[in-house]
Amino acid sequence: MLTQTQPDFLIRSREFEPAYLKLYRSGELQRRAKEAVAGLAHCLVCPRDCGVDRLAGKTAACKTGRYARVASHFPHFGEEDCLRGWDGSGTIFFSMCNLRCVFCQNYDISQAGEGQVTKPGRLAGMMLELQAMGCHNLNFVTPEHVVPQILETLVIAVEHGLCLPIVYNTSAYDSPESLRYLDGVVDIYMPDFKIWDERMALKYLLAKDYPEAARRAIKEMHRQVGELKFDESGLAKRGVLVRHLVMPGDIAGTQEITKFLADEVSPHTYVNLMAQYYPAGRVTGEKFSEINRRITRPELAEAIEAAREAGLYRFDERRGVVLR
């Protein structure tokens, strides 16, 4: 039995329905999907604002055309306990990304393009397969650049019985336009606030505007769904869960990020301070040597203390991470 149940953060199972079902019944989900897909003709899906015609197969920053690319779909047991539960989080890994994180631990998927072009009918089938396996939710990983494709697929999936909560598992490099389409669709937003300083963002993410975009996006996510709430068994049902990867030498700016969350989002924000950083992607002893190591116990302790001093108190407890 899971234990993240406090009276102020409880949604009773009998009172919960995935948000998108109401939009579907009203016809609004179908309208948004049609409008969002049409917008691919001059793509502004993410903050890159590339403006290319993805309907015609043109690509730019995300290297994704008319249809999404999917690397894998499976019940994921490595997510937070409140998401994975006992039957897993129904994870769909989308290929490619609108960021270029030099330390990406999914580099083959996010930048090398591993995966297959997947049309809406097949993508809907993946969603329904995960539901049939007993997964507690649908977990869209790296969805920032394929919001229109997700929306059009949801229409098909709902028509065939989809009724799982949606987890939007994002880098937080999301556009206001896409978040507007997702209002009333997503149940759980899970942004990973990576880096606070724009100079560091340019160096390590190749996106100088990332910090401002992430702050704006997380505020909007919280406006839509509020603090993270759980059902009686401890499964997350609705709200914002913020991830933050603690980095060597605090290049991420953990103190500033946690203070922002407490002061400008909510002191009740549920946060996962992640300790599992390891050198990956383009990080080597020659390139980005300053982050070519794991974090230490003191670095993690400092991050946790900074978050507590900022006023945060709802922390996800992770197991099995070995630090020096």
For the stretch 80-113, pLDDT in tens is: 999 999 999 999 999 999 999 999 999 999 998 8
Residue 87 lies in a domain: yes
Q: What percent of the chain has pLDDT over 90?
A: 94
- Does the structure show a pLDDT above 50 at 240? yes
Residue 276 lies in a domain: yes
For the stretch 157-196, pLDDT in tens is: 999 999 999 999 999 999 999 999 999 999 999 999 999 9
Residue 51 lies in a domain: no
Neighbour-count burial for 216-246, b at 16+ CB within 10 Å, e otherwise: bbbbbbbebbebbbbbeeebbbbbbbbbbbb
Residue 218 lies in a domain: yes
Q: How high is the pLDDT of residue 113?
A: 82
Span 291-308, mean pLDDT?
A: 98
Largest CA distance in the chain: 56
Residue 53 lies in a domain: no
- Indicate the pLDDT class of residue 231, thresholds 50, 70 and 90: very high
Q: Which residues contact 256 (CB under 8 A, 6 or more apart)?
A: 196, 197
Q: How high is the pLDDT of residue 205?
A: 98
Distance CA 223, CA 309 (A): 24
Q: What percent of the chain has pLDDT over 70?
A: 96
3-state secondary structure of 62: coil
CA distances from 107 to 88, 113, 167, 287 (A): 23, 9, 22, 16
H/E element, 182: helix 176-182
- Does the structure show a pLDDT above 80 at 60? yes
| pTM for the model | 0.95
Q: How many structural domains does the chain have?
A: 1
Q: How many CB atoms sit inside 10 A of residue 278's CB?
A: 12
Q: How high is the pLDDT of residue 8?
A: 85
For the stretch 11-41, pLDDT in tens is: 999 999 999 999 999 999 999 999 999 999 9
H/E element, 188: strand 188-191
Q: How high is the pLDDT of residue 318?
A: 61
Span 234-242, mean pLDDT?
A: 98
- Does the structure show a pLDDT above 90 at 317? no
- Indicate the pLDDT class of residue 59, thresholds 50, 70 and 90: very high
Residue 162 lies in a domain: yes
Cβ-contact 14, 40 below 8 angstroms: no
Q: How many CB atoms sit inside 10 A of residue 63's CB?
A: 14
User: Residue 146 maps to which CATH number?
Assistant: 3.20.20.70
Span 292-315, mean pLDDT?
A: 97
Domain range for residue 90? 7-42+59-315
Residue 52 lies in a domain: no
Could you tell me the two tokens for 217? 């996006």
Distance CA 249, CA 240 (A): 27
Residue 12 lies in a domain: yes
